[in-house]
Structure 1
């Protein structure tokens, strides 16, 4: 070997001084060989240890509990450490025979191998699968390596989490949405592969990022060998919301709550509790803890909003060593976390998982482009996770141009700190731009004009036909601006304090106000600055109102996402009584924020085209890209309005879930999907246009090839929608009763034609025809309900009442009138129409007539019923009259349960109870 220059030796000696200090602060006792005392502590670092012949001299040997477990190769500051791994590997396998007797080895070598220069530390853990060097902030504590050794004794095959994650049990998918399933599996695949030490998950706002993360935390703590997780949120108030998610999570394996199994805590001035397995915090609070500064548990926007001018410098803290956390989850944190706060994240020897709806360039760069799962906002709309949105723009002169105030004008001046107002005359003319609006100058009429326009257009253009102000969130520029907006909202709408409130960190009890905004029918408008901008759910929200500009695409998407959540109709109607379903929300833009290039358009891009026309163009494969997106939006909105039976029926007609069709339409117009599906093509040339059209046509195929599906979609649309004409005033011409014979005759002819046309597909019609040859068969109520459902759909809209009235109009002599008709009267209508009966008689009347005749027959045969027996028989007949039949199971329902159900029937009717049920069905039903 060539001799090492003296300058290099000096540099290495300086590096060892730094390494000694790093080892000592991490809890190691650094000793020379002559002063070696392995009993002095758990961890001893022995300098200058002579190795076996041919293996040189190791800079440091590491001892845990008197056994050699590791080696450190020291190099001068600035030395590329990957280039000296051969040297440390040589030491790890070159123990002298006497030292080997007291060594812990893995596959013949020391398990813990370090390369260090004083400014950089690399570590290879031999217990990892396919051991690979990774960079550490500093050396792990002796207790940490001792724990790894204990784990290796308990699980020789996979002692570290990097091995355990390769053998996780199958994911229980039942409580998860498809996007969440994909995300969890992608994270675990990335952890197992270890190609990167960080993974990025993009999930649309409202898609359940936090629940996904909680699910992952449970699996990794329970099965993956992870000991502690740091969960970073954007703001401290979101820590409470995250804590609630952990407390509500129920383990799929044993049913216990997460917090019954693992300790979940917020990072406070008490520091890190030793029992904590999940720690929730903001990055700012972690930084203060690393600096041993007090961390308040209360909301402190000055702390959580603080962004330093330059990247922070982090120093080693023995109370929070780098190995404190195995996993760091960053849940929709501000983008600066990957810039100026990057040092805090990289301090910990942990895999980092980022969860975001809107990754920017800096985020992608930090995660080394390792996007493991992607779920976009349009995809979430297709999956009924979120609703689509519309944009409503309000423009005023002052908003866009500013204004001027002449010298000498008396104006109010407000002290920003005390909010004390005084009147002063301007010494000189004041001109202000739109950028100074609501910061240096508050133009009260500008705010009033915007709000009055919103009020006047709310029920005609924004939410036509409604009369209750939708839940509205207004974003203001600062607290003073928010204060002025709240005052103006109450004045413009002529409402009291409970109608509008300011919900900011400076407001009184903002958390209680936020909860009231979620649930109170009276609190309709909330004004905020940042507190509700990210991560906070207000599901009934229908208007997101921008009275401040936003320059960040990520922040805008998070603010927009406050209105995106779906909500079940019952809960929605409890806070907004004149609404039915939440199918969209509206971005009201009074500042121009939606005109930035980063704002993606809604799916509903062509409001002027009808659903019927869109489906017609789908049938002929002539939809444009914008029309395809619009069709996806309309179908997604319709699906939110449908009842479960309607949705199931539509899926049956489609031959697949309609949600799948909508998702295919969304993917076809997604630029990222287009680039993936059309590799090698560049947007613009004819080849691209042809390929794109083919992609759109393929997505439209399930609709184009299924006219029944298109027609049923339109029927359901008409059934759930109505047009409100508020334009035309009406004038009474006359009012009188009219018998429209022509219309009645038309209804009857259409009814007969319908029965003939659908004779082979509707069970009720088939069974009625079969009565001639199989008189013992009768209709079930389900058959009647199926027929009633079919004829009630547009364009027929038939009911038993309407059909009965039509027959009464054209054939009065053969029709017995009734004030109201039930579904079972369809049996009478079928029998009369098909010629089985000469007179149209209400079904209940027929049943009672036949019951009277049956009783007479029984009496003639010598059977007399007691009062108790008649009670049972009479009520059986009432059930038959409204249900077209009865079964023994019905005897355990009301009204029979009043007298004991089936047991009571057997008691009073004896062993003939079942016979009587059969006889009444046979004698009384059609």
Structure 2
């Protein structure tokens, strides 16, 4: 440890010595040289033919590198002394006939730069500390260093990869080859970021021989999801699963297996591991972006069990929210390539990754390519949501305990006026919730016109209590039981992961209510509707929440949970009941500590290692006030969770951590000093750290949740007096604009292909041949649509016509029949959009009437039954061939022979007539 009265040069040397010893080096001066005493030995002032080198590094008695030491105030000049460092690295060492040394450091003991001279284009880079001797030894055993091996990627096999994934992987590998330390992949939610990353990780391990890769997330749920993705991933060049080829470990404690080639961890857990501490698992359930980022967090220090070179590459999922302030220390610690994954970067994200964006794939591009589905907005506005309401003095109202939900009847002492923002926090108006849910129920046939069941819907609530109120109202208004609507929050009594799996894979629940557990990062592909009953101020967070609905899903898979669908998932709908789509959004939530920091943020910051005196004092003051407000049962409950500590005792511990007398007394006690003795600065610092740890140990996720709940207003007023009313409902103006553009795009597509696609040629140019249209011809149009313009899904265009024309057109029985009806509308055969089955039924009635009106013999009832069967076949298959009579449904009724028996020689003529008449 450097002493304050030393000269700057010596202070720097002492810091460097410290760092070297931490990294496993034996540091020796001239007079104590013994390079056999340890694997790694750092010799000071070693003579060379160009003068003495500050440090020469020996591994297994062989010189491998040098360190050029500089004063701390010369940190900004480290890159200017690289030529001097290189001179020592290429010099001849005294007594040794050495080759040039490959490893070069410049260091002040605070800042350190490193160059591996074996790299293709050697370039210095900042490192947190020195590499371990074992690491340099291992590097020297390989003929080609990592950055050379990165030049050897074989061509990418693109089987099973989307174009955006292929481009991202190829550009990322090019970035590695240029030795760019940080790279950002911006890929829309649902476009396969994780699969892209795993494919890249596989290639890094197999072809670049990377030693270890870290997959870093910021919530436990995302860690579990990533683990599943690695377990199910099968590379295209090997039929074994990824986890059969490489060891994958999801970190659940401080233990990190040295033979793991992929580690999956939350950034919170990795931070605690570097500090050598255990972690309360509840911390991993929260997005760290929602925590207070302390002004003076506990700094990361060198950890010998996890050296800076432990990971060659770090993949940071959802990097837009986990790379700043407290968490940035974790990333700065490792000497690794950093790869960021996000759908919603902001300016800070671009800056952190040095503006090296190797992939830009937006939601709009993903929708155009059919990778994602787009959305429309349906608005529900109520009077009380917009304006709030008023309760007059002496009115009797219910008051409900937030925690127990126990009610009591009380008379108001004075008028109470509340705003819409106070709803569901201070005041609950059941009529407001009921009107939104009832309107949503009644308008579902308009929002999803072709459904028998409620589409899978996710409702975003403000609080856990608000979620409970919504669930009760949903079950009542839809007349359904418990299975129909469930809560998916961290506080729900039923296992949230189990409920989430049911929501994803089973018929029930149809509706899930959440606060923030599945607002980001969680896939529920069958999800088709997001009902917002809370506002969101962060633009990034809102984009992430919307991302829950963007996943595509095929018709067969969607039918498993929503049986009445007649096509794949084509879009999703945002039902906006609080103005979330119109409210002002900020680029991101501020991560810096400010005055008025919420109590929960202060507690989370202290738990996560904040050492900000202001935070400790502020938190102590608030807990002291809370102590006076707690009821006996609440004090008892808090004591059970904290090992007997009260809120006041916790506050005292926080104050003690920065009380100079308390710190000095503890330092004397720890050192066995007399009460009048003056402890050393080191003893004072150690004593204070112990007091900080003691104060912070009282805070766990459970304790924080409890305090956060009881410190709020204990009771909510239930306003059953003021009834709400819906003031506006319907598609927003932008939805109508999007619908018009969709119709125009569909019309343009048809026009553009009318001379290429057989079915369109017939409709546009050869109407007399409509009788020859076949199922395969119509299927060809749909296939080309899906390939070239997936946004023009027939049911999406159908709904666009209904929205623009303001009336229901009926329900098509399939995508193909919807497509035929749309083509007829575009070409001008039909003036109004009509389901194809309606057109066929109308034409069939007219044809039969004409046939029956003449003097010829009338059809018998047996013949009519057969003709109706032909008509039903033509509704779904568009055309009847003689051979079709040998298949269902005709074969069960006697097939071709039976029809000939019924109609004789008229059979073939009738088939031709019906093909022409019904397709008219």
Smaller-chain TM-score range?
0.5 to 0.7
| Closer, same or farther: CA 664–457 of 1 in aligned 2, 3 Å | closer
Separation in structure 2 between the aligned mates of residue 599 and residue 725 of structure 1, nearest angstrom: 50
Determine if contact 1:307/1:340 at 8 Å carries over to the other structure: no
Corresponding residue for 2:520?
A: 534
User: 67, 83, 87: which one pairs with 1:86?
Assistant: 83
Other structure's SS at 1:593 match: coil
User: 17, 34, 37: which one pairs with 1:37?
Assistant: 34
Determine if contact 1:30/1:47 at 8 Å carries over to the other structure: yes
Corresponding residue for 1:760?
A: none
* Bigger mean CA deviation after superposition, 294-303 or 507-516: 294-303
User: 570, 584, 588: which one pairs with 2:571?
Assistant: 584
* Bigger mean CA deviation after superposition, 512-521 or 592-601: 592-601
Whether 1:126 aligns to 2:117 is: yes
Cα shift at 1:612: 6.3
Whether 1:487 aligns to 2:487 is: no
What CA deviation, in whole Å up to 9, does each residue of 1:489-514 have, x standing for no partner? 11121111101000111112111110
Whether 1:574 aligns to 2:560 is: yes
Separation in structure 1 between the aligned mates of residue 306 and residue 381 of structure 2, nearest angstrom: 53
What CA deviation, in whole Å up to 9, does each residue of 1:346-381 have, x standing for no partner? 211111111111111111111121111111112222
Separation in structure 1 between the aligned mates of residue 173 and residue 154 of structure 2, nearest angstrom: 11
| Closer, same or farther: CA 803–497 of 1 in aligned 2, 3 Å | closer
Whether 1:144 aligns to 2:135 is: yes
Corresponding residue for 2:391?
A: 405
Corresponding residue for 1:851?
A: none
Corresponding residue for 1:469?
A: 454
Separation in structure 1 between the aligned mates of residue 237 and residue 65 of structure 2, nearest angstrom: 39
Determine if contact 1:473/1:544 at 8 Å carries over to the other structure: yes
Corresponding residue for 1:887?
A: none
Number of equivalences:
684
Gaps of 5+ in 1: 1-6, 622-642, 666-707, 727-734, 746-787, 805-816, 833-837, 844-926
Corresponding residue for 1:848?
A: none
Whether 1:238 aligns to 2:222 is: yes
Cα shift at 1:326: 1.0
| Closer, same or farther: CA 572–660 of 1 in aligned 2, 3 Å | closer
Separation in structure 1 between the aligned mates of residue 743 and residue 853 of structure 2, nearest angstrom: 27
Separation in structure 1 between the aligned mates of residue 505 and residue 586 of structure 2, nearest angstrom: 30
Corresponding residue for 2:532?
A: 546
Separation in structure 2 between the aligned mates of residue 818 and residue 618 of structure 1, nearest angstrom: 39
* Bigger mean CA deviation after superposition, 64-73 or 288-297: 288-297
| Closer, same or farther: CA 664–451 of 1 in aligned 2, 3 Å | closer
Corresponding residue for 1:862?
A: none
| Closer, same or farther: CA 71–417 of 1 in aligned 2, 3 Å | farther
Cα shift at 1:97: 5.0
What CA deviation, in whole Å up to 9, does each residue of 1:92-115 have, x standing for no partner? 11123522x3x4x4xxx2100000
User: 13, 32, 37: which one pairs with 1:16?
Assistant: 13
Determine if contact 1:283/1:337 at 8 Å carries over to the other structure: no
Separation in structure 2 between the aligned mates of residue 177 and residue 744 of structure 1, nearest angstrom: 61
User: 399, 408, 415: which one pairs with 1:429?
Assistant: 415
| Closer, same or farther: CA 78–482 of 1 in aligned 2, 3 Å | farther
Residues 903-914 of structure 1 aligned to structure 2 (within 5 Å): none
User: 817, 828, 851: which one pairs with 1:741?
Assistant: 851
| Closer, same or farther: CA 620–339 of 1 in aligned 2, 3 Å | farther
Cα shift at 1:432: 2.3
Higher RCO structure (Cα 8 Å, ≥6 apart): 2
Determine if contact 1:200/1:372 at 8 Å carries over to the other structure: yes
Whether 1:74 aligns to 2:69 is: yes
Other structure's SS at 1:352 match: strand
Whether 1:506 aligns to 2:512 is: no
Residues 731-770 of structure 1 aligned to structure 2 (within 5 Å): 739-741=849-851
Cα shift at 1:645: 6.0
Separation in structure 1 between the aligned mates of residue 230 and residue 490 of structure 2, nearest angstrom: 24
Cα shift at 1:436: 2.3
Corresponding residue for 2:261?
A: 277
Residues 437-448 of structure 1 aligned to structure 2 (within 5 Å): 437-448=423-434
Determine if contact 1:62/1:70 at 8 Å carries over to the other structure: yes
Separation in structure 2 between the aligned mates of residue 111 and residue 736 of structure 1, nearest angstrom: 91
Corresponding residue for 1:170?
A: 155
Corresponding residue for 1:46?
A: 43
Determine if contact 1:128/1:163 at 8 Å carries over to the other structure: yes
Residues 655-670 of structure 1 aligned to structure 2 (within 5 Å): 659-660=787-788
Other structure's SS at 2:235 match: coil
Residues 439-838 of structure 1 aligned to structure 2 (within 5 Å): 439-459=425-445, 461-507=446-492, 508-581=494-567, 582-596=569-583, 606=737, 609=740, 614-616=745-747, 649-650=780-781, 659-660=787-788, 739-741=849-851, 797-799=878-880
| Closer, same or farther: CA 44–427 of 1 in aligned 2, 3 Å | farther
| Closer, same or farther: CA 716–63 of 1 in aligned 2, 3 Å | farther
What CA deviation, in whole Å up to 9, does each residue of 1:519-548 have, x standing for no partner? 221311101111111121111111111111
| Closer, same or farther: CA 620–270 of 1 in aligned 2, 3 Å | closer
What CA deviation, in whole Å up to 9, does each residue of 1:179-199 have, x standing for no partner? 1111111111111112x3111
Other structure's SS at 1:595 match: coil
Corresponding residue for 2:108?
A: 117
Separation in structure 2 between the aligned mates of residue 403 and residue 117 of structure 1, nearest angstrom: 65
- TM superposition score normalised by structure 2: 0.68
Separation in structure 2 between the aligned mates of residue 169 and residue 713 of structure 1, nearest angstrom: 52
Other structure's SS at 2:465 match: helix
Separation in structure 1 between the aligned mates of residue 512 and residue 790 of structure 2, nearest angstrom: 34
Residues 190-339 of structure 1 aligned to structure 2 (within 5 Å): 190-194=175-179, 196-295=180-279, 300-301=284-285, 306-310=291-295, 312=297, 313-333=299-319, 335-339=321-325
Determine if contact 1:267/1:295 at 8 Å carries over to the other structure: no
Other structure's SS at 2:444 match: helix
User: 356, 364, 367: which one pairs with 1:381?
Assistant: 367
What CA deviation, in whole Å up to 9, does each residue of 1:443-471 have, x standing for no partner? 22211111111111111x21124231111
Cα shift at 1:416: 3.5
Separation in structure 2 between the aligned mates of residue 488 and residue 407 of structure 1, nearest angstrom: 28
Gaps of 5+ in 2: 588-731, 753-773, 794-819, 839-844, 856-869, 910-920
Please report the RMSD computed on the Cα atoms of aligned residues, expressed in angstroms: 4.2
What CA deviation, in whole Å up to 9, does each residue of 1:572-629 have, x standing for no partner? 11211222222111011111111146699999662554966655567899xxxxxxxx
| Closer, same or farther: CA 825–207 of 1 in aligned 2, 3 Å | farther
Corresponding residue for 1:779?
A: none
| Closer, same or farther: CA 797–618 of 1 in aligned 2, 3 Å | closer
| Closer, same or farther: CA 140–606 of 1 in aligned 2, 3 Å | same
Residues 850-865 of structure 1 aligned to structure 2 (within 5 Å): none
Corresponding residue for 1:368?
A: 354
Other structure's SS at 1:211 match: helix
What CA deviation, in whole Å up to 9, does each residue of 1:467-489 have, x standing for no partner? 31111001111211112111111
Determine if contact 1:284/1:306 at 8 Å carries over to the other structure: no
Cα shift at 1:518: 1.0
Determine if contact 1:338/1:363 at 8 Å carries over to the other structure: no
Determine if contact 1:392/1:589 at 8 Å carries over to the other structure: yes
Separation in structure 2 between the aligned mates of residue 415 and residue 792 of structure 1, nearest angstrom: 64
| Closer, same or farther: CA 493–710 of 1 in aligned 2, 3 Å | closer
| Closer, same or farther: CA 349–713 of 1 in aligned 2, 3 Å | farther
Corresponding residue for 2:377?
A: 391
Corresponding residue for 2:56?
A: 61
Larger Rg: 1
Separation in structure 2 between the aligned mates of residue 200 and residue 458 of structure 1, nearest angstrom: 40
Separation in structure 2 between the aligned mates of residue 191 and residue 502 of structure 1, nearest angstrom: 44
Determine if contact 2:186/2:341 at 8 Å carries over to the other structure: yes
Separation in structure 2 between the aligned mates of residue 363 and residue 824 of structure 1, nearest angstrom: 73
* Bigger mean CA deviation after superposition, 413-422 or 29-38: 413-422
User: 411, 415, 424: which one pairs with 2:401?
Assistant: 415
Separation in structure 2 between the aligned mates of residue 532 and residue 44 of structure 1, nearest angstrom: 52
| Closer, same or farther: CA 616–525 of 1 in aligned 2, 3 Å | closer
